[in-house]
Structure formats: structure tokens, C-alpha cells
Amino acid sequence: MKIAVLGAGAWGTALALTFVRAHPVTLWVWDPAEAAALRRDRENRRFLSGHPFPAALGVEAEIGAAVRDADLALIATPVLGFRGTLRSLREAGCAVPVIWACKGLEAGTGKLLHQVVAEELGDIACAALSGPSFAEEVARGLPTAVTLASRDLDFARHWVSVLNSPRLRLYANDDVIGVEVGAAVKNILAIAAGISDGLGFGLNARAALLTRGLAEIARLGLALGGRQHTFMGLAGMGDVVLTCTGDLSRNRRVGLALAKGQPLDAILQDLGQTAEGVNTARAVASLAERIGVDMPITHAVNGILFEGLPADRAVEQLLARDPKVE
């Protein structure tokens, strides 16, 4: 199977390095200068240094060339570039199945990514790849398990069999909504966990935050049509635990910096990569308010990020909420 990986950030590069061990892979990057650097260096020094490209991994800056003769297009761009990448695929006349490894809601519309796919490409065979996975560890070949979710379970099972490897284990799932909601909201929770840790609130507070945050994921997911068991799996609890506690988490690092009082613009500039939880916080808070889902942690993070709410004040507001039955 020939695979086109669209997006040469850390995650796209890690997936390309993983799948090229068994399949021909072309890595697409929109910037010709960056593509030239990847070809020259045979390494992604900007986003995933220290992992040389094997000879079988090709690099293209023209999307039509990247997907030519491909059996699968795997999109790993930031969510901000997701719709544009889909449109480029359509304009290139690409009709291959699409899997996306992006995590978040579309800014502005608040739409889940499968809805964006349907708007841009129609009723095509597609799936969402998600779960607890840091790019650095996947690139190193460390054991990782993720979920591949499609409304067509046979489609998911087929690509699980194709892409599964001894160090990257895939599980098929047909709850696309549940998987996408878990993928989006866990990044918001990671910002909250970073704030809590940065303020020195301790491990008890972090455990409470993760547990109540998982309840927020479930409430939103169920309201949108997801299934409860999904939130207890890899794309729910698994990704929450990893992203909220792991030092490689970009979103957690944003929270740690916010706790120190650093301005958001400076934090994101220093980070140098996308922290999806930032834009997703605004989109999820708006969606939750619109459909009447209670998500206090999400609203607190959104207030800190975009409404000038001090981090310590946000925590006070959460702790001052009326007691409830769990």
C-alpha cells in the first residue's frame, strides 16, 4: 500500500517514519522551502530532530504529486489547515480514502472534523486516528496503542490490518463522534492540568481534575451522539492521562507557563509548534453553551486564555461551585 502523509509536523513525520517500515510513503509539506530542507537534511530538524529519513521516504511540496497512485491519504496537519488540505485534495482530483490524525474542533464553526470532511469531500471512505501518542515516542519505535474510528467498521478493520505493527497497535472503532470529542477536549484538560501543576496544587488536585474532566468529555460526547464506552478507552481516558501528565505534552506546557503569568502570545511563540487546546477551548466552550452542556473546566480554561481571567481566580471559581452528586 502506498501512503501519502499530508503534514510534516512532528506527528505527521512520526507516522511517516513508522509506516515507511512496511509501505512506500510520501510526506507532503506545503512550503517548498521546507520540503527542500527535508530532502537535503533527510531529517525533520525543525519538528522532530534526531530521526533520519530512510531512503524509501519521499518528500513532496505539491499535493498532487504526493497523492499520485496513493492508496491512502493520511492528514496530520494542524486543525487550522485541515479544511484547506481537504480542498487541495479535491482540487487535485484525489479520490483515495482519507484518515485524519488531527485533534480538535474547527475554529469558527465548532464542527467536528468528520463534518468538515463531509462538506469538502462528500461521502467518502474515511476514519479518525486518535489515542495516547507522543510523536517523539512513536518515532523512536516505543510501544503505542491508538484507535482508528470509522462509521464503516469494516473500513476501520481493513486499515487496522494494513497499518498495525508490533510497536504501533491499532484498534478498530465505529464511534467517530466519541473519538473526535475525546481527542479535542483532552487538550483543553491538559492546559488545565498544567495550570494546576504550575500553581502547585498537588497530585490530589490533578487526579480530581482529570476525573472531572473526563466527565466533561463524556457529557459533551453523549450529547453529540457518542457512546459512553469510548470515553473509557484509548481515545478518552488513555489520551487524557497521557496528555495531562506527560512532560512531552505541548498543551500541558502552555498551562504551566500560564500559571507563571506569562502572556499567551509569548507562550505560543516560545513553543514553536501548535498547541491545539488553545483554539479548541474557545470552540468547545461555545459549542457547550449552545447545546446546553455543563463544562466548567473548559469554560475556566477559555476564560484564562481569552477573557483575562487570572489562573488562580479561575481555580477559586471551580472550587466554589455548589456540591453535587457524582
Residue ranges of the chain with per-residue pLDDT less than 50: none
Angstrom distances, CA of residue 153 to CA of 127, 147, 160, 172, 204: 9, 12, 10, 7, 39
186 is catalytic: yes
Catalytic residue among 2, 103, 111, 186: 186
pLDDT at residue 263, as a whole number: 95
Domain boundaries of the chain, sorted by first residue: 3-174, 184-319
8 Å CB contact between 121 and 87: no
Write down the CATH superfamily of domain 3-174.
NAD(P)-binding Rossmann-like Domain (3.40.50.720)
pLDDT at residue 313, as a whole number: 86
Cα atoms found within 13 Å of the Cα of residue 304, Cβ hemisphere only: 35
d(CA 234, CA 247): 19
Give domain 184-319's CATH architecture: Orthogonal Bundle (1.10)
pLDDT at residue 315, as a whole number: 80
Identify which of 30, 33, 119, 23 has the alpha carbon closest to the alpha carbon of residue 71.
23
Distance of CA 27 to the CA centre of its chain: 18
What's the whole-model pTM score?
A: 0.95
**Cβ neighbours of residue 69 under 8 Å, at least 6 residues apart?**
2
pLDDT at residue 325, as a whole number: 65
pLDDT at residue 326, as a whole number: 66
pLDDT tens digits for 132-170? 999 999 999 999 999 999 999 999 999 999 999 999 999
**Cβ neighbours of residue 121 under 8 Å, at least 6 residues apart?**
86, 89, 90, 98
